[in-house]
Structure 1
Amino acid sequence: MTTPVRTVLADVARVGPFFAVGTDPAESADPTWRPLRDLGSDPGPLGDRVAHVRRVLSEQAGRAVEERVAASIALQGLAARLVSAPLAAVVLHGVLPDLGRDALHWRVSLTGPWPLWADPDRPARDPAALPALVAEEIAEPLVAAVRALVPVSARVLWGNVASSVAGAKRVLGTERPGAAIRAAEAAAAVLDHPLLAGTGERRPPGPPDHGWTFRRRSCCLYYRLPGGGTCGDCVLSRA
């Protein structure tokens, strides 16, 4: 018997904050929720998000941060929120909730990550559709929307998406060790999608990874912040 989507997403949310998607039916009456599709058609909220990230980073750095750096980091944060829940749902329960461009909703938050909400009564999708959902319905429109606002490399942004997939896989393996190998297999299938293929390579695993460790072929530009350095999977890292 298939586990109800509401139960699946409630369990997934326990993995960590980046995996949380609300399902309270009462939220459907709130007009501030907007479908994922709107991120591509209305540049206002995404532009405001990039500007917010830029202000925060500039305050921390004590000087103005490049807009393309802020855009890259803003996208990476959004991508991590958007790809984690569907990956975890398939890995932990073999269920793929409808978290596509029309079903998944976001709401602007001025103080933290945008909350996400989905209607749990929508039929679940075939779990085999996970790579297409992540790459085509979530990542591709998001990358296009950011690039329409800020001149930042598509290679950088797709690398950020891939890094988010690998990061979700790592968290799953840490928080739910019994699902670590399934997480590696599911994340590998996502990274093999044509839109993500070539963004990096899967190397022999190093702790805390299981199955493989991801090494991207691009950089999120975080190193351009004062004292920023490089991430563990960065092409510029010597690790």
Structure 2
Amino acid sequence: MDLDPALAALRPLGGFFVLRTAATAGGPDTDRPPTLAETYAGAAPDALTARVAVVADRLRTAEPRVAASIAQQGLAARLWSAALGCAVLYGRTPDLDPRLLRWDPHASAPDDLCLTELRPLPGDAAALAATVLHGHLAPLAKTLRDRYGSAPGLLWGNAGSALAAAARTLESWARAQGRTDAAQRTRALTDGLFAHPLLRTTGARTGAAFRRRSCCLYYRVPGGGVCGDCCFTRPPRSSPRAASG
């Protein structure tokens, strides 16, 4: 099945999966936000700072590193969802090169992404890893480490957690629709991705369940607690740095 210009097959899956394209976006180029490539490279340094500030305000936290972690996990969830959804439903994935993706850092959750050009790529685990892990999450992790001191274990744990959540949602939808082929393909692709060196040590998987080996720091948000896949069963009382790896 070829990728259609509007990626319409993603719409029934919900907001984290839907990806706006040039076919559905409007307005002049001057009104559009920067690309993710510009953000990662520092050519649009205010974009990432603005996103972290938006998340911090929404969560009512005064800790930039906490907001940076949640912001990164939200973007990772969007990228994994769109890429995995296309790979399963179309058998192909769009080229999500950071130079082709515009990102509005001021938008509400889930992150607002717009793909400016549709270039089909294979829909296998290797293509997904190249597109999402190496194309986005690695350069984003470097920027967050340099700017906020984010721990690598935390960031890759967020990446694994986001992938597991996207896979659970997609597999659950597929089974509810009687699409056992899509459910099986979701599981196979997810298995292949978690075999990647950057993800294989991020947590333990049992079926669709995932227990990560790090903490995203959400427990430090006012009124927050531990997430369902957290390495902790209750909010820790130890040094906050101890939970960041």
The amino acid that maps onto 1:170 is R
Task: Letter of the 1:141 partner, please give it.
Answer: P
Alignment length (residue pairs): 223
* Structure 1 residue 222 corresponds to structure 2 residue 218: yes
Which segment is superposed worse, 100-109 or 124-133?
100-109
Q: Give the 3 Å change call, closer, same or farther, for CA 141–23 of structure 1 in structure 2.
A: same
The residue identity in structure 1 corresponding to 2:53 is A
Q: CA deviation at 1:112?
A: 4.3
Structure 1: distance between partners of 2:187 and 2:173: 14
Letter in 1 for 2:41: S
Q: Measure how far apart 1:171 and its partner are.
A: 0.8
TM alignment of 1:49-64, pairs within 5 A: 49-58=51-60, 64=61
Q: What does residue range 97-176 of structure 1 map to in structure 2 within 5 Å?
A: 97-120=94-117, 122-128=118-124, 129-176=127-174
1:23 and 1:200 map into 2 onto residues whose CA distance is 33
Q: Which amino acid aligns with 2:170?
A: L
* Distance in 2 of aligned mates of 1:201 and 1:78: 22
Secondary structure at 2:119 match in 1: coil
Partner residue in 1 for 2:196: 193
Give the CA deviation at 1:10: 1.4
Tell me the TM-score normalised to structure 1 length: 0.85
Cα offsets for 1:7-56 (capped at 9, x unmatched)? 5x211132010111112346484232432211212321111111221122
Structure 2 residue aligned with 1:37: 37
Give deviations 1:194-239, integer Å, cap 9, x for gaps.
2222111212x3xxxxxx321111011111223322111111137x
Distance in 1 (alpha carbons) for counterparts of 2:105 and 2:56: 16
Q: CA RMSD in A?
A: 2.0
What stretches of structure 2 of length at least 5 have no aligned partner? 235-245
Contact 2:95 2:119 in 1 (8 A): yes
Is the Cα contact below 8 Å between 1:36 and 1:102 reproduced in 2?
yes
Residue 6 of structure 1 aligns with an amino acid whose one-letter code is: P
Amino acid of the structure 2 residue aligned with 1:99:
L
Deviation at 1:77, TM superposition (A): 1.0
The CA distance in 2 between the partners of 1:131 and 1:28, in whole Å, is 32
TM-score (norm 2): 0.83
The more displaced of 182-191 and 102-111 is 102-111
Is the 1:83–1:138 contact (alpha carbons within 8 Å) kept by the matching residues of 2? Answer: no
Partner of 2:5: 6
CA contact under 8 A between 2:153 and 2:214: conserved in structure 1?
A: yes
Contact 1:5 1:124 in 2 (8 A): no
Q: State whether structure 2 residue 235 is matched by structure 1 residue 236.
A: no
Question: Does structure 2 conserve the Cα–Cα contact (< 8 Å) formed by 1:12 and 1:20?
Answer: yes
Percent same amino acid among aligned pairs? Answer: 40
